[in-house]
Structure 1
Amino acid sequence: MNTDDLSWQAGSYGGLSPWKVTLLLEHGHLDLVIQAAKERGEWFCAERAAQELCQKGEFGQALEVMEPFAATGWQTALWAKAEILVRAGRVEEALDLAHPDEEGCASPYVCRDAAELLAKAGCVDEAIGLLVPHIDKSWIRTSLVKITEDKDRDERVLELIAPHAQSARRTRDEGLWDYSCSDAQELQAQVLERAGRADEAIRVLGEDMARGRFLSDNTLTAYAQLLARHDRLEELRELATGQYAHSVLDIYAGALRDHGRVQEAETVMREAIAADDWVGYRAWLSSFLLRNGRLDDAIAVAEPGFSWYDCSNLLAPLVYPLLEKPADLLYLLEHPLTVPHYGHEEFQHWWRAFALANLGRIQEALSVIEAHPDQWTDPRIGRAGLLSAAGLLTEAATELRELDTIKAREDLFEVLVLQGQAAEAIAVHPTVAEQRAIKSKTDPTPCREDGYSAEPPF
């Protein structure tokens, strides 16, 4: 175990990934998760095991699990150990780990993590002090607001955010754009609201909206959501039916729905589509109708967008809520209005095969793969996935064992856990070293000190 391996695991979800650890825990295998952390150096096992043990009040064992990882000097593990100490009431020991040195204080990432821990330990003012030198960064301001919630420091937070909110307003007054402060107005309103000054937050942001003194649509939607939370529906209606309709009409319709005015919400969106057939209106209304069990109506609304490109395509947003309703999913995919997913027809083949498998129609599902083998990276992996979806776990396991590739062994893990063979599942799962060897065939992306990508996409 070393910091390089641990950083790779964290940044690549390598080893036993978080969802695999969750699967083990859901099946009652905390003991195996602890064992995997100790014997295989699995970071996500150590992290979740420590959390589970702390919830049980077993802080000593949680520290025992985390100690080998912290001993490497990897900062993320040191924070995790310090948090266990805080939860165990050993605050002074935790603070010894949390205090960054001079080099650490220069890093906004280190200061952010240290501040979160200090706030949990009750050292709120010290936490704020660590963030102040980096307060010009939007994500540091977000962290400041987060760690001070319910800590009786709202006035101090408002003092720190106010200059950046004013900078945003001044920038727009001058006809300029400076996105470094684009979040400050909505954060200011958020703190005012939680401090019991919602009317002031609404007044301040309302003035900014009226004068166009904001830099980001996020500020606009934050204002609309603020109005919705405080039942200011008339003001929200005026905002949503004007020049900002594309950004906030869905918030207004959602507020009407939440107030029991369901038919009115539908009418508002249908009228908007009739006047301005924008994809966002169709996306909201089709999802709304689907949630209300009106699949045919949802299809009719979304159909013009079924062949649009990528993010504008309206087929996928209907598919995903139906993945656990295979009969409805198959109905959607076989509907005469449903056309191939533009540029991604392979999705439709997989969705259809998945639906058929979940309905127990396994031969029909497998025939989809046979008819379109090029749509699967490895058709045999696809076969095993369909067998598993159909509940034919033994057959799926046999298929994956015969393949014996890294990917097959990763998929075999889930099948074995579902079969009640969790210990074997961990044993057959590729080690971190094996996974890294496969990944190394492509050029590695540089990572930050926290293990995540230092280059886009983050």
Structure 2
Amino acid sequence: MNIDDLSWQARHHGGIYPRLARTLVDLGETELLIGAAQERGDWTGTQAAARALCAAGDTDRAAALVAPFREIGWREADWATAEIMIVRGEGEEALATVRPDAAALGDGHACARYAELAATAGRADEAIDVLAPHLGESWLRSRLVQATEGQGRDDRVLHLLTREAERMEHKDSEGCGRCGQACRASRTDRWDVLLLISQVLERAGRAQEAVEVMRTETASGRRHPLNFPEHHAQLLARQGLIEELRALAEAEHRAAFAVYAKALEDTGRAPEAEALLREAIEAHDAPNDRAALMRLLVRQARIDEAVEAGRPTYDYYDCWNLLHWALELLVGDGRPGRALELLDGLTGAWAEGHPDQVLDLRLWLLGEAGRCEQAIAQATALNEKEPGEWDLRLARLLERDGRLEEALALLRTSTQRSALYDLVDMLLEHGRPAEALASVPTIAETRAAHEQREREAAARRPQDDPCAVPDGYASQPPF
């Protein structure tokens, strides 16, 4: 255990990665995680285990688990200890150990973290105080709203946000200091603040005021980002203002249309919602309307109609191609053969431009259809042409065919960077958590392998190549 390795782990998720730690806790394997984390000196595992112990009321053991990291000066351990102390009811003492000094008050990340702890300890005003100077940053405005929820400080939060919106309005009206035009960044920030004001008003029980904020801004005639009319529509739907929602959707606010259709469905007017979506598709053929129609049909268990509704998108080369969803719908409906027919019938731009994805989907569907032997033979042949490239799909096919040990052996020796994740997942799925954890390299091992790959990549790059990527710039996570 040393600071250098721990810092590397924080950047790269080496060792026990966060998803594995959470999964082990969810599976009730906290003791296994504790043992591995202590043996390896692994912070990610230790932090997850300590939080699980706190949730179970064992704060003394959680503190003891974190203590060695604190002793070597790992700052994250101070924050974790403060969390444990707050659970114990020692809020004031906990905050004293991590309270930002004058220099740290300029660090938004430190202030956000402290504010979260302060709010948890029941010190909402202190949380507001450390965040108030940072309201020019959108993510910290959101943290302010999150940290104060249910803390009885909505009036103070609204005062700060309203003052910030007014400042941005003034800045926008003055224009950019360089070109004299309205600053696009300040307009976007102002819209973000208005959304937060509406959110706080609604949670404070002042829904009509929240609606009025959105209504006034929409009526201003300004252009807005898509999320603004969408949030406006969702607010109207939550408040049952269906007619006003209809008017918003009809005023060329396409982002509000799907919200309106869902609101109609939720109020028992599903046929009307379906008709409106089909009319919109006929008029505009917007893929988000097709997606909304598919969701409506799926909720009514009309799977074939949902698949047909998405069909025109299956040739889209990239965005809004709904093919994968359609195949999953058919498989979930117990008809992988029908999904295969759909896939095999594709001849458009997407199928032609993504041959490997088509092959991978076909192998998956063959397995789902119980044709594992055929799929395994095809995947094996593909691997012979491109060694290792089809390991992950082949392993899952072997598993489905009842050949679990062969699948695990393949993943253990695979050169694919993500094979370790698949190996761990497969072991967990088959009730073998100790093996799953043992298969994960330590932080030091993972770091050494990563740095070796970096050196090899640097050696392969021409030294005089002006377009060469600097070492470490485009490096991938260790797995």
TM-score, normalising length from structure 1? 0.88
SS of corresponding position for 2:319: helix
The equivalent of 2:322 in structure 1 is: 314
Over the residues paired in the alignment, what is the CA RMSD in angstroms?
2.9
Please say which structure displays the higher CA radius of gyration. 2
Matched, 1:208 2:236: no
* Greater displacement, 258-267 / 138-147: 258-267
Matched, 1:165 2:185: no
CA change 1:404–1:332 in 2 (3 A) is closer
Question: CA offsets per residue over residues 149-186 of structure 1, 9 Å max, x none?
Answer: 11111110011000232345556777722233330001
The equivalent of 1:221 in structure 2 is: 230
Question: CA offsets per residue over residues 354-407 of structure 1, 9 Å max, x none?
Answer: 233345432122134245446885323432232234453222123334558875
Residue pair 1:333, 1:348 contacting (<8 A) in 2 also = no
Question: CA offsets per residue over residues 75-107 of structure 1, 9 Å max, x none?
Answer: 433222211111121223311222012222110
> How far apart are the structure 2 equivalents of 1:68 and 1:351?
48
The equivalent of 2:178 in structure 1 is: none
> How far apart are the structure 2 equivalents of 1:102 and 1:265?
56
Residue pair 1:250, 1:284 contacting (<8 A) in 2 also = yes
Structure 1 residues without counterparts, runs of 5 or longer: 453-458
> How far apart are the structure 2 equivalents of 1:360 and 1:78?
53
The equivalent of 1:431 in structure 2 is: 442
Residue pair 2:169, 2:190 contacting (<8 A) in 1 also = no
Question: How big is the shift at 1:192?
Answer: 0.8
CA change 1:412–1:276 in 2 (3 A) is closer
Matched, 1:334 2:338: no
The equivalent of 1:456 in structure 2 is: none
Residue pair 1:192, 1:198 contacting (<8 A) in 2 also = yes
One-letter code of the match for 2:365? Answer: A
Alignment of 1:304-383 (within 5 A): 304-319=312-327, 325=332, 327-335=334-342, 338-339=346-347, 341-342=350-351, 343-370=353-380, 372-373=382-383, 378-383=389-394
> How far apart are the structure 2 equivalents of 1:97 and 1:376?
54
Question: CA offsets per residue over residues 278-320 of structure 1, 9 Å max, x none?
Answer: 1221122123323432222122211111111222212133345
Residue pair 1:46, 1:65 contacting (<8 A) in 2 also = yes
The equivalent of 2:460 in structure 1 is: none
Question: How big is the shift at 1:142?
Answer: 0.5
Residue pair 1:366, 1:383 contacting (<8 A) in 2 also = yes
Question: How big is the shift at 1:332?
Answer: 2.5
Residue pair 2:70, 2:78 contacting (<8 A) in 1 also = yes
Matched, 1:302 2:310: yes
The equivalent of 2:283 in structure 1 is: 275
* Greater displacement, 357-366 / 197-206: 357-366
Matched, 1:94 2:85: no
Matching residue within 284, 292, 307 for 1:284: 292
Question: How big is the shift at 1:40?
Answer: 1.4
* Greater displacement, 214-223 / 401-410: 401-410
Question: How big is the shift at 1:203?
Answer: 1.4
CA change 1:191–1:444 in 2 (3 A) is same
Question: How big is the shift at 1:132?
Answer: 1.1
Residue pair 2:336, 2:369 contacting (<8 A) in 1 also = no
CA change 1:446–1:10 in 2 (3 A) is farther
Matched, 1:422 2:451: no
> How far apart are the structure 1 equivalents of 2:337 and 2:2?
48
Matched, 1:255 2:255: no
- Tell me the number of residue pairs that the alignment of Structure 1 and Structure 2 aligns: 446
> How far apart are the structure 1 equivalents of 2:129 and 2:154?
14
CA change 1:370–1:254 in 2 (3 A) is same
Question: How big is the shift at 1:60?
Answer: 0.9
SS of corresponding position for 2:315: coil
Question: How big is the shift at 1:256?
Answer: 1.3
* Greater displacement, 204-213 / 42-51: 42-51
Matched, 1:235 2:244: yes
SS of corresponding position for 1:311: coil
SS of corresponding position for 1:182: helix
SS of corresponding position for 2:103: helix
CA change 1:228–1:17 in 2 (3 A) is same
> How far apart are the structure 2 equivalents of 1:359 and 1:66?
49
> How far apart are the structure 2 equivalents of 1:17 and 1:322?
33
> How far apart are the structure 1 equivalents of 2:416 and 2:308?
44
SS of corresponding position for 2:434: helix
SS of corresponding position for 1:94: helix
TM-score, normalising length from structure 2? 0.84
> How far apart are the structure 2 equivalents of 1:277 and 1:407?
38
Matching residue within 189, 214, 218 for 2:198: 189
CA change 1:371–1:292 in 2 (3 A) is farther
> How far apart are the structure 1 equivalents of 2:449 and 2:196?
43
Residue pair 1:282, 1:301 contacting (<8 A) in 2 also = yes
The equivalent of 2:404 in structure 1 is: 393
Question: How big is the shift at 1:52?
Answer: 1.5
SS of corresponding position for 2:228: helix
Structure 2 residues without counterparts, runs of 5 or longer: 176-180, 455-470
Question: How big is the shift at 1:126?
Answer: 1.0
> How far apart are the structure 2 equivalents of 1:96 and 1:152?
23
CA change 1:99–1:419 in 2 (3 A) is same
SS of corresponding position for 1:184: helix
Residue pair 2:138, 2:189 contacting (<8 A) in 1 also = yes
What is the percentage of aligned positions where both structures have the same residue?
38
SS of corresponding position for 1:127: helix
CA change 1:432–1:278 in 2 (3 A) is same
> How far apart are the structure 2 equivalents of 1:194 and 1:118?
21
Residue pair 2:15, 2:442 contacting (<8 A) in 1 also = yes
